Amino acid sequence: MEIYEEISEILLSNQSVPMLLWSGEKGWRTVCEGGLAIDEDSLSKDGLWALREIVMEEDLKLYDAFLQKIKEYIDGEDAAAPERENYLEEAVHLKIGETYSYYKIECYQEMENAHIMRKMLVRIPELEAEDIYRIHLAEVITNDKNPAFFTQGAKELMDRHPDWNYALVQFDVAKFKMINEQYGEQFGDELIEFFIHSLKLLCNKEQLYTRLTADVFMILTPFMSQEGLLEFVEYLRDHLSSYKDITYRLVFGICKVADRKQNLRKYGDGAALARQSIKEDALNHVAFYREDMKDKARMNKFIEDNMEKALENREFVMYLQPKYSISKEEMVGAEALVRWLHPEHGLIPPMSFVPLFEKNGFIVKMDAFIWEEACRTIRKWMDDGMAPIPISVNVSRKHLKDGSFVDTLNRLTEQYGIPKQYLEIEITESVESKDVKEGANLLKKSGFTLLMDDFGSGYSSLNTLKDTQFDVIKIDREFLQDFIGSDRGKTIVEHTVKMTREIGLDLVAEGIETKEQAMFLSECGCDVAQGFYYARPMSVDDFNKKYAL
């Protein structure tokens, strides 16, 4: 007791730092806050009562983690080990008042004997400038400028525990660029600092973390089960998903270290692939690496390496899928689709490259190419004395953010001298309704016929019909398949078609595969359909031969 009282007296003389006292008898209590002694009866469950009074509300989670770190030190499995040191010191980055600063956690134990601790004294002084400089230097070393530092530390960590299972957890902020644009780059920098200093508190001594690039972080962590890894991810997510009352979405990828002899980068790449696989998936925030992700990554790289060359060499080909009048049993239009005929790999299905083009922006060039192919085909029909039919082309969301796409469509119809009634425009109604409305308005002013694609899926709903500028509604394939299978579902489809017709819109049903489906839709009042029951997509040459326009 004499040692404790002596140290307490010395620390209490410091008039500027909050101090916490832990004792086996009374638990946690604050013994000093800015030089004011706190009554022993002013105890709290977690012992940080006085400290909470002067910290920002948004940082309470960090203080909880800080407290837990000290508690683990006191109550850990090795608390009674003979080799346990009587003094612990660790630097942390905390916020008191309005500013962040570096503090040093100093913990002193009073041991009753070599195995039993009676009391713990904690002091939190602010670090000197030289100590802060060393911390910043260490942060530089552990980022992407020196990945070997992390790799070496990971190897040493795993070597200390050869029987433990380890995994790499990688995370970043979804649409971090948009956060920078909305709140400013200074906020983005603060957010990164928040992650860096939070991870110091959230990760224990058996977990190694590093910042890879920009907003991407990676943690090497031991685990006992997949459920344990998911619990760790949720722990990180709970503490890191908001800053300054601003929330954002964190995306996590996990790759288990299967062979320690392998280069750790292999598993880091696996965690990255898992993370990237759900970047656009709003329903999931964590994914485990699978071997098929590597094949998909190779395919994506091949596509991106060859897409420009393929466009120059006209490897992309326009296919047409007919639209039929159910009652007249004749073709009344066609939809333009794209296929990739690679000279070595043959036909590459659109689902392998279209979603990637939508992400990397190449879809803008792809769309323009198909638009021109459609115009060229209509012009040829007219020149050959054939009665042309409307071809509908897709306009991706990338175009809708820039109204110049309408100028391109106008230029193409003028260049090829075709009436605009023969070039119909399909747009997928989405959550980004502002862009859709503005784009639709420009197209309507230019005289184009507008088709709302995939009605009944995603964000499209009956609400979009209220003030719509579209002329035609295309009922989504999956919507029909989900509803036509039951009497109640059929009633919903019947009333949807009736209501749409009553407000003056035409309809096209997609994905029709049977005669029964076609007859049901015709009875409901939907006369135009497309799908495998009528014809599959085909090349323009085959289309011309089959239908002899």
Burial of 1 (0-12, 13-18, 19+ CB in 10 A): exposed
Region 309-319: what's the mean pLDDT? 95
pLDDT digits (tens, 9 = 90+) for 381-392: 999 988 899 999
Q: Give yes or no for residue 472 having a pLDDT over 80.
A: yes
Query: So what's the pLDDT on residue 327?
Result: 92
Mean pLDDT value across the chain: 78
pLDDT digits (tens, 9 = 90+) for 53-97: 545 555 556 656 666 665 565 554 444 333 444 555 555 555 555
| Residues in Cβ contact with 519 at an 8 Å cutoff, skipping those fewer than 6 apart | 326
- CA dist., res. 92 & res. 99, Å (int): 14
Interior angle at CA 136, CA 130 and CA 139, nearest 5: 145
Q: What are phi and psi for residue 406, nearest 5 degrees?
A: -65, -35
Domains of the chain listed by start with CATH number:
2-128 (3.30.450), 142-289 (3.30.70.270), 311-547 (3.20.20.450)
- CA dist., res. 453 & res. 459, Å (int): 11
Query: So what's the pLDDT on residue 391?
Result: 97
CA distances from 356 to 42, 226, 361 (A): 60, 30, 8
- Split at pLDDT 50, 70, 90, the class of 39 is very low
Which among 174, 226, 178, 219 has a CA at the least distance from the CA of 199?
A: 219
Query: So what's the pLDDT on residue 93?
Result: 58
- CA dist., res. 394 & res. 528, Å (int): 18
- Split at pLDDT 50, 70, 90, the class of 499 is confident
Which among 483, 429, 426, 481 has a CA at the least distance from the CA of 458?
A: 429
Residue pair 10/108 in contact (Cβ under 8 Å)? The answer is no
Q: Give yes or no for residue 41 having a pLDDT over 90.
A: no
- Split at pLDDT 50, 70, 90, the class of 30 is very low
Query: So what's the pLDDT on residue 479?
Result: 81
Residue pair 124/103 in contact (Cβ under 8 Å)? The answer is yes
The mean-pLDDT minimum among 11-20, 494-503, 531-540 falls in: 11-20
| 3-class secondary-structure state, position 293 | helix
pLDDT digits (tens, 9 = 90+) for 326-360: 999 899 999 999 999 999 989 998 999 998 998 88
Query: So what's the pLDDT on residue 43?
Result: 32
Residue pair 74/260 in contact (Cβ under 8 Å)? The answer is no
pLDDT digits (tens, 9 = 90+) for 213-238: 888 999 999 999 999 999 999 999 99
DSSP 400-431: HTSTHHHHHHHHHHHHHT--GGGEEEEEE--S
Residue pair 226/163 in contact (Cβ under 8 Å)? The answer is no
Q: Give yes or no for residue 143 having a pLDDT over 60.
A: no
Which among 412, 455, 424, 450 has a CA at the least distance from the CA of 332?
A: 424
CB atoms within 10 A of CB 409: 24
- Residue 298's H or E segment, with its range, is helix 291-312
- CA dist., res. 516 & res. 522, Å (int): 10
- Measured over all CA atoms, what is the biggest interatomic distance in the chain, rounded to whole angstroms? 109
- CA dist., res. 440 & res. 449, Å (int): 10
Cα four-point dihedral sign 56, 58, 60, 62: negative
